[in-house]
Structure 1
Amino acid sequence: MGKKDQAQKERERVQTVLELLKKQAPLTVKQEKFCSTVCVERFLKAKGDNVKKAAKQLRNCLAWRDSIGTDNLIADEFSAELAEGVAYVAGHDDELRPVVIFRIKQDYQKFNSQKLFTRLLVFTLEVAIQTMAKNVEQFVLLFDANFFRSASAFMNMLLATLKIISDYYPGRLYKAFVIDPPSLFSYLWKGMKPFVELSALTTVVSSLDYEESLEFNDFTSYPRAASMRFNHSSVLSSAKPGSCSSSRFSFTVSHHFDSLKPWYLSLTDTSASKVGPTNPSQNGFGPSISPINGRSLSFASPVARGPRGNFDAGRKGFFPSTPMPQKTQKLDPSMIRHPRTPKPSFLQSPALFFRKDYQVTRGEKSRESFVPFLKFYRRPYDEMIYRSKMKPPLGGLISIISPQLKRRHMSISQRF
């Protein structure tokens, strides 16, 4: 009975909100269609089930939609933005939520009015809502701030976007990610965060943290990673790739890049100038490359610096022995200080990362939360794919004519 009573109360609240709206002014057919039960429940949830506040916000939303002209938005108005991929729906995540990407340049607001930016934002959000499944009500926003040099300019754009979503699209935002903002943005965001309603759903991430991601590590798509690979064309044709020789030793570079040791020392010296005897049978020495002549003399042992003769003779007579001074003081065993175990540091040990009860930091949580949407951020933009997601009337003339062309093509093909 508890769930039934709660559902009954929710239906009563929805009816009360609709009655308050109709008392102020009659609703049009499109407004009644917009004010569905699910829509009114989202406004009630945003205002803590307060009927009067939810009705006031919903009335303001209806007036704002009429002023913007959401019913008259079509893709033909944003031909330049669609061609450049300024704002688009990249796809759907595992929960079928649409992922919206904004790649707005800083100069866009200089040459375009704030009203045009608002219309572009509303158009993109309306396309995302059209592509939602029946049981899906939220979307994900990715703000690519790579094209912004000014932190204040990007902050103004972000705050305006979050304000529109919180006031006129309550309960629609699942998560918002700010990717690669300007350097001073973090300080501005820290001061403005307590005053932003959707700040708890907004996360700032850096794309450099995902350069080493194994799942999306495609060297052909990212020149930054591709530049670290070995370029075969850089090797001159006259040179012999893979080997090098000197008067001391010769080494060979393996062509297998995945090998553990791509180089190794060879035991034969092919150079013209030799250091010492090179014949393995001469003077009882082994191969030409040895621990003695295979390294610099500055790091060699005193024996290696000696003449190449008898090692025993070098040990005995090359360096004269110096008598050590006699011990004149006896150490008291009680005065010897043994090393003590250091006190535990306030920094956590790396071993705690492998414990099950380890608390993940906030930065790691934000980084892990962005991983499912990384593929949408790195996926190249395709205008035709995005236009195919638009339904009339948002799709414009192309979305209206293309179904007719398909039906006509099918009717002609059926004749043969």
Structure 2
Amino acid sequence: MGKKLEYELQINQKEAERVEAVLHLLKKQSPPLTLKQEKFCNNACVKRFLKCKGESVKKAAKQLRACLSWRESIGVEHLMADEFSGEIADGVAYVSGHDDQARPVIIFRIKQDYQKLHSQKHFTRLLVLTLEVAIQSMAKKVDQFVLLFDASFFRSASAFMNVLLGTLKMVGEFYPCRLHKAFVIDPPSVFSYLWKGVKPFVELSPITMVVSSLDFEESLEFSDFASYPRASSLRFDPSSVSSTAKIGSCSSSRFSFTVSHSLDSLKPWHLSLTDTSASKVGPTTPALVGPALISPLNARSYSFASPVARTSRGNACPVKKSFFPSTPLPQKTQVMDRERINHPRTPKPSFLQSPALFFRKECHVSRADKCRESFVPFLKFYRRPYDEMTYRSKMRPPLGGLISTISPQLRRRHMSISQRF
């Protein structure tokens, strides 16, 4: 334990030295840092920039200086919610809540025509305001957020790609190590092909996933799905068979066949679409066949039955019949113990599976499943209806604007009608 503590102390000391080196480089550069900029460049902020740049002091100082210049050009210190009253009322970009790890979940529901009606700087300021509100609502030990991009309002895949890449680039450069996961929900059909080509050049692409809301229409949890029988099953559902006729001509829910009485016929059987279970063919006395009723195991032809159905027929021993008379065999003197007989199991049908699955890698097969499983904890935030007052309550002055100074008793609860449920 003593060596472990010494190792941790050495690591913390090296991190503190690198943080001091970055701050020293920033103070040497011109123009000098303002009070608000010095407050922004705290130890946690410098550590995130160092982690993003591989613990390089010069690269971290350079990117941090670029971030400070960008924040000054955007006017982050003067952002107010009153500038985006229309967007906040419609829920274009907002903080929906916090996940199990207290990370804020941000939802972007931007329409395709929004950028045509507003300038790029106005759109960037809206995104920055939403990110700043999410950062303000974080707990002390939390420093990451989750992004949900609702792309269902876009008809053009290239238009949405521009919005997505611009947002991810801004987050990666000016909010390093802040993004935990990003989900693209219901993008246009061509988006997946464009994303494959752009993905290697996007820094945050490993934590960006594409999902479809159609996969979660039944329920929030996968355990709520009803258990249906497999489509490739070779057995009938017992509840679907309600016939009580004795063994005669074999019938099922799909077809039936009857054996001809004439022995010289070329086709001793013929198919029919009618139920012929009432007719009896051959000897049906209890001494030879037994009063066995039609069940899911015998209500079909022997060629389609499972091996268990072909070998076991209740308590009566199977009697092989032939269309031509033969010499009867002597009766058996030994009684076979059916419990010792190991009936072969029904083989798992593999002819319904695609052969391409055997040549795929496991990572490609389970990629979609991993994306769906990762999105399940955030599905409730995506489906939750937007409440403007709940979102405004997360804003602290001066981001909240003038409305944040009004007493909560005088606020009117506003539910946006443009949100999908």
> What is the aligned length?
305
Residues 1:385 and 1:298: Cα distance change in structure 2 (over 3 Å): same
Aligned residue for 1:149, secondary structure, equals coil
Instruction: Select 1:16's aligned residue among 16, 21, 25.
Output: 21
User: Structure 2 vs 1, CA of residues 343 and 62 (structure 1 numbering), >3 Å: closer, same or farther?
Assistant: closer
1:90 is matched with which residue?
Answer: 96
What SS does structure 2 have at the residue aligned with 1:203?
A: strand
Q: Does structure 1 residue 301 correspond to structure 2 residue 276?
A: yes
> 1:405 Cα deviation (Å)?
8.1
Q: Secondary structure at 2:49's aligned position in 1?
A: helix
- What does residue 387 of structure 2 align with? 382
What is the distance in 2 between the residues matched to 1:120 and 1:379?
A: 21
In structure 2, the CA distance between the partners of 1:217 and 1:122, relative to structure 1 (3 Å rule), is: farther
Residue 48 (1) aligns with residue 48 (2): no
| Alpha-carbon distance in structure 1 between the residues aligned to 2:60 and 2:78 | 26
Structure 2, unmatched stretches of 5+, are 1-5, 225-237, 243-250, 257-271, 286-322, 326-346, 412-421
Task: Compute the displacement of 1:215 (Å).
Answer: 3.8
1:162-241 correspondence to structure 2 within 5 Å = 162-213=168-219, 215=221
Please tell me whether the aligned partners of residues 145 and 181 of structure 1 are also in contact (alpha carbons under 8 angstroms).
yes
* Distance in structure 1 (CA, Å) of the matches to 2:150 and 2:386: 13
CA 1:81–1:51 in 2, change beyond 3 Å: closer, same or farther? same
SS at 2:141's partner residue? coil
Residues 323-402 of structure 1 mapped to structure 2, 5 A cutoff: 361-402=366-407
Work out whether residues 90 and 99 of structure 1, in 8 Å CA contact, stay in contact via their aligned partners in 2: yes
Equivalences for residues 402-413 of structure 1 within 5 A: 402=407
Q: Distance in 1 between matches of 2:405 and 2:85?
A: 16
Structure 1 SS opposite 2:101 = coil
Evaluate the alpha carbon distance shift between residue 401 and residue 212 of structure 1 in structure 2; reply closer, same or farther with a 3 A threshold: closer
Question: Is 1:114 equivalent to 2:120 in the alignment?
Answer: yes
How far residue 402 of structure 1 moved from its aligned partner, in angstroms, is: 2.9
Measured in 2, the distance between the counterparts of 1:404 and 1:22 equals: 47
What secondary structure is seen at the aligned counterpart in 2 of 1:100? strand
The 5 Å alignment of 1:245-256 reads none
Output one character per residue of 1:11-45: Cα deviation in whole Å (capped at 9) or x when no partner. 01000000101111211000000000000000000
Q: 1:171 is paired with a residue of what secondary structure?
A: coil
Q: Does residue 155 of structure 1 match 2:161?
A: yes
Task: Give 3-state SS (helix, strand or coil) of 2:385's partner.
Answer: coil
Instruction: Decide which structure has greater helix share.
Output: 1
Question: For the residues of structure 2 that align with 1:193 and 1:179, how far apart are their CA atoms?
Answer: 17
Aligned identity (percent) is 67
Aligned residue number for residue 60 of structure 1: 66
Q: State which drifts further: 141-150 or 397-406.
A: 397-406
Residues of 2 paired with 1:381 and 1:341: CA distance? Answer: 48
Distance of aligned partners of 1:343 and 1:127 in 2 relative to their CA distance in 1, 3 Å threshold: closer
8 Å contact 1:139–1:174 — kept in the other structure?
Answer: yes
Cα deviation, residue 110, structure 1: 1.0
Comparing 110-119 and 33-42, the one that deviates more: 110-119
- Compared CA separation, residues 382 and 298, structure 1 to 2 (3 A): same
Does the 8 Å contact 2:221/2:376 carry over to 1? no
The corresponding residue for 2:145 is 139
Paired with 2:324 and 2:409, the residues of 1 have a C-alpha distance of: 106
CA contact (8 A) 1:216 1:375 kept: no
Task: Find the aligned partners of 2:194 and 2:141 in 1 and give their Cα distance.
Answer: 37
Give the deviation of 1:3 after TM superposition: 1.1
Q: Distance in 2 between matches of 1:217 and 1:105?
A: 34
Would the alpha carbon gap of residues 342 and 110 (structure 1) be closer, same or farther in structure 2, given more than 3 Å must change?
Answer: closer
Q: Deviations over 1:264-289 (max 9, x none)?
A: 99xxxxxxxxxxxxxxxxxxxxxxxx
Structure 1 pair 152/387, CA: closer, same or farther in 2 (3 Å)?
A: same
Give, in whole Å, the separation in 2 of the partners of 1:101 and 1:404.
27
Q: Using the TM superposition, give the Cα deviation of residue 363 of structure 1 relative to its aligned residue in structure 2, in angstroms.
A: 1.4
The structural deviation recorded for 1:5 is 1.1
State the superposition RMSD in angstroms.
3.8
In 2, the alpha carbon distance for the partners of 1:358 and 1:121 equals 34
- Cα displacement (A) at 1:403: 7.3
Distance in 2, Cα, partners of 1:364 & 1:33: 43
Aligned partner letter, 1:395 = G
Give the distance between the partners of 1:23 and 1:402, measured in 2 at CA: 46
Amino acid at match of 1:12: E
Q: Secondary structure at the match of 1:183?
A: coil
Q: Which residue of 2 aligns with 1:337?
A: none
Distance 1:87 1:347, change over 3 A: same
Quote the Cα distance in structure 2 between the aligned partners of 1:103 and 1:162.
15
Give distance in 2, aligned partners of 1:106 and 1:91.
Answer: 25
- What is the DSSP-based 3-state SS (H/G/I as helix, E as strand, rest coil) of the residue aligned with 1:117? helix
In structure 1, runs of 5+ residues without a counterpart are 219-259, 266-290, 306-310, 313-323, 327-339, 350-356, 407-416
Question: What TM-score do you get using the length of structure 1 for normalisation?
Answer: 0.66
The alpha-carbon distance between structure 1 residues 57 and 211, as it changes in their structure 2 partners (threshold 3 A), is same
Classify 1:365/1:58 alpha carbon distance in 2 versus 1 (closer, same or farther; 3 Å): same
Cα offsets for 1:284-309 (capped at 9, x unmatched): xxxxxxx9xxx99842329669xxxx
Match of 1:36 in 2: 42
Give matches, 1:275-314, under 5 Å: 298-301=273-276
Q: C-alpha offsets along residues 354-404 of structure 1, whole Å, 9 cap, x if unaligned?
A: xxx999812111110100000000000010110111110000001124379
